[in-house]
């Protein structure tokens, strides 16, 4: 059967042979990235993943009970050590596929076992990347396996080539993830108004994010960023494989994930995603990047240092006696890791286990316990409001500018943003002069589903040039006070019809 041009194109897309530079880089970085949070949980293995602790399986959250077996510390602790060592071996390329075959199921198992703290979105993406790297030929270059395979060859060998289908699957993974994320965001109105992003920026649910806290105050940035992010996610799958737009889409993706780190306090999620981006590097890209770096004088010392370190590493690996099989060495190291992990966990002894038994729980103070159970602290009136600003321009129903000076004929918008959840509220906006004389008074009902309300005021002829104050009240309490100045000449009411008045 004669192939059509379309089938040739599809065959070239998945099965064109290249040296897997991008996959090798992803193999080096991805296992290290996914192992970082697992290292932080190392002292808490007994508590999170064993029968002595309180593991909460993902299946249990969906009402399906405990599907996975929960092992005792004597089994789970050494398995955890084996997982960490296999992730390290996979990064080094030492028995690459076998290391991935052991590390990936254990990584999935321990994540599923602690659905409250360990199982996250980056765990899902990291799992898919590990599975695809397992079935790939990522260990063909820059690995211990590659050095051991060619140490018998005297003559230099050309870089090996393999089909690019594994790298394509990783690339398609990101395409589907971004497209699905965009579809989800499109159905969420609060995402486009900026409320979701604002409260995430203000929180420290992940880690400190001082830049995000500052950006949250400029609320007009949030809806603009929301629309840009959705457009990029929708177009990623269609433009990332085009030569003219490929670098742009990947660059925007790196910037997107970098901003999630800066503004939202996410560390591991952007690290894993950017590590997976390395699979987008083709053989042509790598050669071009390498040639460019070699021409830069600033990178030459780093290149010489890297080459020397690589040569020394290859010399060390090649010097391993041939009578010492790599598989035996690999197995012995896993056994040592299991024993060391078990002994180390016992020495940490953070749970107070002694010869007399486990540490006993101390009785909590009665007053504190009563407060935790029944203490519904009353929310102060001012804590129900996030901000109150005055300006003239709206972007995405958010006040885009903050003004302290207005002139006649301008439309002044006083916007109050509320913190959810809140009850139905009566909110007052009062315009006063510097001597607290009331000039204008507006009272509105803000229902529990509203996150903001706009008071609109036209600077008209009954205001003389000078200083004024806009005051926000709720529950008869003053919440915010914003001062502003009126400049210019008042319009002549007699000479003109339709003059702006208040």
pLDDT tens, residue by residue, 205-262: 777 777 887 887 777 788 888 899 999 999 999 999 998 999 999 999 999 999 989 8
Helix (H, G, I), strand (E, B) or coil at 464: coil
Confidence of residue 360 (pLDDT cuts 50, 70, 90): low
Q: Which of 458, 464, 439, 455 has the alpha carbon at shortest distance from 502?
A: 458
Instruction: Please name the residues in contact with 117: beta carbons below 8 A apart, sequence gap of 6 or more.
Output: 41, 48
**How far is the C-alpha of 457 from the C-alpha of 392, rounded, in Å?**
10
Torsion-angle region of residue 53: left (phi > 0), alpha (psi -120 to 50) or beta?
Answer: beta
Q: Is the pLDDT of residue 300 over 50?
A: yes
Compute how many other C-beta atoms are within 10 angstroms of the C-beta atom of residue 101. Answer: 14
For residue 455, the model assigns a pLDDT of 92
Confidence of residue 496 (pLDDT cuts 50, 70, 90): very low
Mean per-residue pLDDT over the chain, rounded: 84
For residue 359, the model assigns a pLDDT of 61
Instruction: Please name the residues in contact with 44: beta carbons below 8 A apart, sequence gap of 6 or more.
Output: 53, 350
Q: Is the pLDDT of residue 156 over 60?
A: no
Long-range contacts of 62-68 (CB under 8 A, 24+ apart): 68/109, 68/112, 68/113
For residue 337, the model assigns a pLDDT of 87
Q: Alpha helices of 244-299 — where are they, by DSSP H? A: 246-264, 268-277, 283-295
78 is written with which tokens?
């050494």
Domain 383-487 falls in which CATH fold?
A: Immunoglobulin-like (2.60.40)
Distances (CA, A) of 165 to 61, 74, 279: 36, 41, 11
Confidence of residue 473 (pLDDT cuts 50, 70, 90): very high
Compute how many other C-beta atoms are within 10 angstroms of the C-beta atom of residue 1. Answer: 4
Compute how many other C-beta atoms are within 10 angstroms of the C-beta atom of residue 76. Answer: 25
Q: Is the pLDDT of residue 189 over 50?
A: yes
170 is written with which tokens?
């990783």
Confidence of residue 47 (pLDDT cuts 50, 70, 90): confident
Pairing of strands 398-399, 394-395: antiparallel
Q: What is the DSSP letter of 434?
A: T
* H or E segment to which residue 126 belongs: helix 121-134
**How far is the C-alpha of 462 from the C-alpha of 99, rounded, in Å?**
79
Confidence of residue 275 (pLDDT cuts 50, 70, 90): very high
8 A C-beta contact, residue 385 and residue 428:
no
Phi and psi at 118, nearest 5°, equal: -90, -40
What average pLDDT does this structure show over 191-203?
80
DSSP 164-228: SHHHHHHHHHHHHHHHHHHHHHHT-HHHHHTHHHHHHHH--SSS--HHHHHHTTSTTHHHHHHHH
Which residues of the chain form CATH 2.60.40.1930? 383-487
Confidence of residue 323 (pLDDT cuts 50, 70, 90): low
Helix (H, G, I), strand (E, B) or coil at 321: coil
Q: How far apart are the first and last CA of the chain?
A: 81
Report, in angstroms and rounded to the nearest whole number, the Rg of the chain calculated over CA atoms: 31
For residue 492, the model assigns a pLDDT of 61
Phi and psi at 37, nearest 5°, equal: -65, -25
């Amino acid at each position: 059967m004669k192939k059509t041009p379309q089938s040739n194109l599809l065959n070239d897309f998945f099965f064109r042979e290249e040296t897997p530079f991008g996959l090798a880089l992803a193999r080096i970085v991805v296992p290290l990235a996914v192992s970082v949070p697992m290292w932080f949980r190392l002292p808490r293995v007994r508590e999170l993943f064993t029968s002595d602790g309180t593991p909460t399986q993902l299946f249990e959250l969906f009402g399906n009970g405990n599907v996975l077996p929960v092992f005792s510390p004597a089994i789970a602790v050494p398995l955890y050590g084996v997982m960490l060592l296999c992730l390290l071996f996979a990064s080094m390329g030492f028995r690459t596929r076998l290391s991935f075959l052991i590390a990936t199921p254990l990584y999935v198992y321990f994540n599923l076992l602690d659905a409250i703290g360990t199982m996250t979105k980056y765990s899902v993406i990291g799992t898919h990347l590990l599975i695809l790297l397992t079935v790939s030929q990522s260990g063909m270059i820059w690995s211990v396996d590659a050095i051991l395979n060619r140490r018998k060859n005297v003559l230099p060998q050309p870089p090996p080539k393999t089909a690019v289908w594994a790298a394509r699957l990783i690339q398609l993974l990101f395409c589907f993830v971004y497209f699905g994320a965009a579809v989800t965001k499109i159905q969420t109105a609060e995402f486009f108004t900026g409320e979701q992003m604002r409260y995430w920026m203000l929180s420290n649910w992940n880690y400190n994010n001082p830049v995000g806290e500052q950006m949250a105050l400029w609320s007009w940035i949030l809806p603009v960023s929301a629309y840009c992010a959705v457009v990029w996610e929708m177009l990623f799958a269609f433009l990332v494989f085009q030569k003219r737009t490929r670098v742009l889409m990947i660059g925007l993706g790196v910037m997107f994930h970098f901003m999630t780190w800066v503004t939202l306090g996410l560390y591991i999620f952007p690290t894993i995603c950017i590590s997976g981006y390395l699979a987008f590097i083709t053989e042509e890209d790598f050669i071009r990047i390498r040639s460019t770096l070699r021409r830069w004088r600033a990178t030459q010392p780093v290149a010489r240092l890297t080459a020397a370190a690589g040569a020394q590493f290859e010399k060390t690996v090649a010097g391993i006696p041939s009578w010492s099989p790599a598989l035996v060495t690999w197995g012995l190291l896993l056994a040592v890791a299991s024993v060391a992990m078990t002994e180390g966990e016992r020495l940490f002894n953070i749970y107070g286990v002694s010869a007399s038994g486990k540490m006993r729980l101390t009785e909590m103070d009665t007053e504190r316990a009563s407060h935790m159970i029944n203490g519904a602290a009353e929310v102060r009136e001012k804590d129900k409001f996030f901000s109150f600003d005055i300006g003239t321009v709206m972007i995405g129903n958010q006040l885009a500018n903050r003004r302290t000076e207005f002139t006649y004929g301008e439309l002044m918008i006083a916007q109050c943003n509320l913190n959810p959840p809140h009850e139905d509220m009566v909110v007052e906006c009062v315009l006063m002069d510097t001597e607290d004389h009331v000039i204008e008074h507006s009272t509105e009902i803000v229902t529990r589903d509203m996150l903001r309300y706009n008071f609109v005021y036209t600077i008209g002829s009954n205001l003389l040039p000078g200083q004024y104050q806009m005051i926000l009240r709720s529950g008869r309490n003053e919440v915010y006070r914003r001062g502003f100045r009126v400049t210019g000449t008042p319009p002549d009411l007699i000479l003109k019809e339709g003059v702006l008045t208040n």
